[in-house]
């Protein structure tokens, strides 16, 4: 076998995992979310910057604020999901670098002084963390329904009015319902996607 993970773990994280579109009403506990975060916080990021921020929507009131900002096809599944997370990048992540990258405390003022460069670097690192977050949800035995179909500026205004955060992905989380999954679509073969030089 070429992989260190056993077949059951490979199935849980990859082979049998799909984007979920329907969930049971079983709640996702605070303990589960904390365990997921404690696992995924170890994702690699530039200068250990950790720019991902997670906003959890549990209440009906919070969901009602979000629903009009989603594309129509995403509203019903989000309304029914036991937990929805807005995964965003903290555009001021560099302010925490003295704690997160103590070997170079001045780095925040040198490498990330330019707001445009800081946003580009933050989005890339937060994207890595989002991938880990998805795998963390699966590792907890839950299903994830990540979505890009939403009004990102509207979400930013509604939930992050100070302009510090920028929404990247909205993700529903829970136990998959019987109707959760569409058939898996094709993927590219190794030879189509990988170049060996």
- C-alpha 66/C-alpha 8 separation (Å) is 36
Residue 108 in domain: yes
Q: CA separation (Å) from 40 to 70, 80, 128, 134, 135?
A: 26, 25, 10, 9, 8
Q: What pLDDT does 1 receive?
A: 66
- Please check whether residue 93 lies inside any domain of the structure: yes
**pLDDT by residue, tens only, the chain of 197 residues:** 689 999 999 999 999 999 999 999 999 999 999 999 999 999 999 999 999 999 999 999 999 999 999 999 999 999 999 999 999 999 999 999 999 999 998 998 999 999 999 999 999 999 999 999 999 999 999 999 999 999 999 999 999 998 999 999 999 999 999 999 999 999 999 999 999 99
How many domains would you assign to the chain? Answer: 1
**Is residue 97 in some structural domain?**
yes
d(CA 51, CA 121): 9
104 within domain boundaries: yes
Instruction: Indicate whether 2 belongs to any domain.
Output: no
Q: How many beta carbons lie within 10 A of that of residue 36, not counting itself?
A: 24
Whether the CB-CB separation of 81 and 173 falls below 8 Å is answered with: yes
- Judge whether 194 lies within some domain: no
Q: Give per-residue pLDDT as tens, 73-105.
A: 999 999 999 999 999 999 999 999 999 999 998
Asked if residue 135 is part of any domain, the answer here is: yes
Nearest to 96, CA basis, from 133, 123, 122:
122
Q: Which CATH number does the domain housing residue 76 bear?
A: 3.40.109.10
pLDDT of residue 193: 97
Q: Give the integer Cα–Cα distance in Å for 32 and 149.
A: 26
Range of the domain at 60: 28-178
Tens of pLDDT, residue by residue over 38-62, are 999 999 999 999 999 999 999 999 9
Assess if residue 154 is contained within a domain. Answer: yes
Radius of gyration of the chain (CA): 18
């Amino acid at each position: 076998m070429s992989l260190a993970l056993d077949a059951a773990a490979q199935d849980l994280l990859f082979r049998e995992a799909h984007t979920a579109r329907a969930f049971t009403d079983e709640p996702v506990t605070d303990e589960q979310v904390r365990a997921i975060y404690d696992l995924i916080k170890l994702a690699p990021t530039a200068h250990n910057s950790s720019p991902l921020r997670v906003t959890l929507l549990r209440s009906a009131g919070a969901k009602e604020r979000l629903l009009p900002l989603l594309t129509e096809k995403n509203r019903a599944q989000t309304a029914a999901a036991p937990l929805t997370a807005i995964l965003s990048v903290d555009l001021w992540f560099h302010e925490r670098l003295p704690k997160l990258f103590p070997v170079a405390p001045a780095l925040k003022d040198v490498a990330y002084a330019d707001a445009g460069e800081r946003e580009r670097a933050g989005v890339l690192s937060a994207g890595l963390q989002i991938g880990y977050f998805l795998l963390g949800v699966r590792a907890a035995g839950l299903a994830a329904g990540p979505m890009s179909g939403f009004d990102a500026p509207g979400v930013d205004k509604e939930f992050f009015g100070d302009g510090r955060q920028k929404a990247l992905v909205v993700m529903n989380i829970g136990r998959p319902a019987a109707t959760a999954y569409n058939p898996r679509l094709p993927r590219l073969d190794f030879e189509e996607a990988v170049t060996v030089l």
